[in-house]
Amino acid sequence: MHRLNLGLLVLLLSLASGRAAERKFDWSALPVGALPTNFISTVAGVGQPGKWQIIEDEVPFGLAPLDGSAPAMAKKPVVAQTAKDFTDEHFPMLLLGNETYGDFTFTTRFKIAGGVIEQMAGLAFRIQDEKNYYVVRVSALGNNIRFYKVVNGQRGDIIGPDMPITKDVWHELSVICEHTQIKVMLDGRQAIPAIINDTSFSIGKLALWTKSDSVSYFSDTHVVYTPHEPFIQGVVRETLARYPKLLGLKVFMLSGTPPQPLLMASNIEGEVGRVGETNLVDVITNGRVYYGKENDVVSVVLPLRDRNGEALGAVRVQTKTFKGQTEENAITRAVPVVKHIQDKIATAEDFK
């Protein structure tokens, strides 16, 4: 995967209803031509990742103007895939961060603006990696909408009807996942019969999707979801209860290319998703141990290993210092904490 470099404003809102939350992806803070940051440009199939950038386009208002003379469209920043790669079996995707979602409604407006070989736009969801995911896509050349899943790089049955899809017009596409049921809506109407009892993927990442030389625009992208606590965050929460004198506990793993230490679980949940210090790479790849002291807080960073002894990540344990504190006894205090976490983690899948 190739991590894009510049920033993106992502707004996380809690809704009043139950545990539901909404995440909106807003590109208005970025200048035209910029790359959307904190997202990951990758590709399924063959070829190089696409070119995702901010452009301006006329987008319809969400509601029709009350005054018939008022404009129905407004120019605003949108994100576009503009690379024109004619390679077949080439599917550029823009992952919407590293967060995973289980039950959700994932919605975007899209506009198919160009393409010679293909004119497609879609949503990929419950993504495990580039070879395992669901996708729903719309084709203006084929005048159809299709759903399928990819398992170990192999495409499954293709489901969906033919219907007119207008090029150069904004449409709205939604995917609704509830446990093992998947529904697809196009322009406010159910477009494909509900997929029932598909248990291939229960949670995963979300992405905008295109194919080959399709030039496609996306706007007003958001997801309403039931918050999912990653397994590793639950382990951290339980560990903090077991060791109540801990001041801080954080778990990192490597992600992206080049690999960066990503905070996967923390005693401060709002920090999750941040990139950690570069010395964490040394801890994970070389098994180094780091010790630090600031004021009355001692930090020890130890590698986190699976049951075969292979490095999975790193754990930072923070405790209050005491008179006579040494590096050796600080590490001795941290080892049982890391071992407790290690006993509950079998593979990298347990970070999800």
Q: What is the pLDDT of residues 286-314, one digit of tens each?
A: 999 999 998 899 999 999 988 888 888 99
What is the rounded (10 degree) CA torsion for 153, 1, 36, 232?
90
Question: Is the confidence at residue 1, as pLDDT, over 80?
Answer: no
Relative to beta strand 21-26, strand 181-186 is unpaired
* Token pair belonging to 232: 């590793």
Q: Do 256 and 129 touch, CB atoms closer than 8 A?
A: no
- Confidence (pLDDT) at 19: 61
2-225 belongs to CATH 2.60.120.560: yes
- Confidence (pLDDT) at 69: 54
Quote the DSSP letter at residue 271.
Answer: G
Q: Do 43 and 91 touch, CB atoms closer than 8 A?
A: yes
DSSP output for 124-152: EEEEEETTEEEEEEEETTTTEEEEEEEET
- Reference 129, options 150, 109, 108; nearest CA is 150
Q: Do 138 and 112 touch, CB atoms closer than 8 A?
A: yes
pLDDT above 70 covers what percent of the chain?
91
How far is 169 from 167, CA to CA, in rounded Å?
A: 5
How far is 343 from 135, CA to CA, in rounded Å?
A: 36
Question: Is the confidence at residue 3, as pLDDT, over 80?
Answer: no
Backbone φ and ψ of 171, nearest 5°: -125, 170
- Confidence (pLDDT) at 73: 84
| Rounded average pLDDT over 64-76 | 65
pLDDT tens digit sequence for 329-351: 999 999 999 999 998 887 777 67
Asked if the domains 2-225 and 231-351 are classified in one and the same CATH topology, the answer is no
Beta strands in 204-310 (DSSP E): 205-209, 215-225, 248-255, 260-266, 290-294, 297-305
- Which value, in Å, is the radius of gyration of the alpha carbons in the chain? 23
Q: Which amino acid appears at position 236 of this protein?
A: V
| Rounded average pLDDT over 245-250 | 95
How far is 139 from 163, CA to CA, in rounded Å?
A: 9
Q: Higher-confidence residue: 200 or 2?
A: 200
Question: Is the confidence at residue 65, as pLDDT, over 80?
Answer: no
- Confidence (pLDDT) at 105: 97
pLDDT tens digit sequence for 216-242: 999 999 999 988 778 888 899 999 999
**In which residue are the tokens 């990758």 written?**
42
- Confidence (pLDDT) at 99: 86
Question: Is the confidence at residue 248, as pLDDT, over 90?
Answer: yes
How far is 261 from 255, CA to CA, in rounded Å?
A: 6
- How many CB atoms sit inside 10 A of residue 145's CB? 22
Backbone φ and ψ of 259, nearest 5°: -65, 135
CATH class held by domain 231-351: alpha beta
pLDDT tens digit sequence for 12-55: 333 333 467 899 998 888 889 988 877 899 999 999 999 999 99
Least confident of 53-62, 141-150, 222-231: 222-231
- Confidence (pLDDT) at 229: 76
Q: Average pLDDT over the chain, rounded to whole? A: 88
Domain ranges in the chain are 2-225, 231-351
Quote the DSSP letter at residue 292.
Answer: E
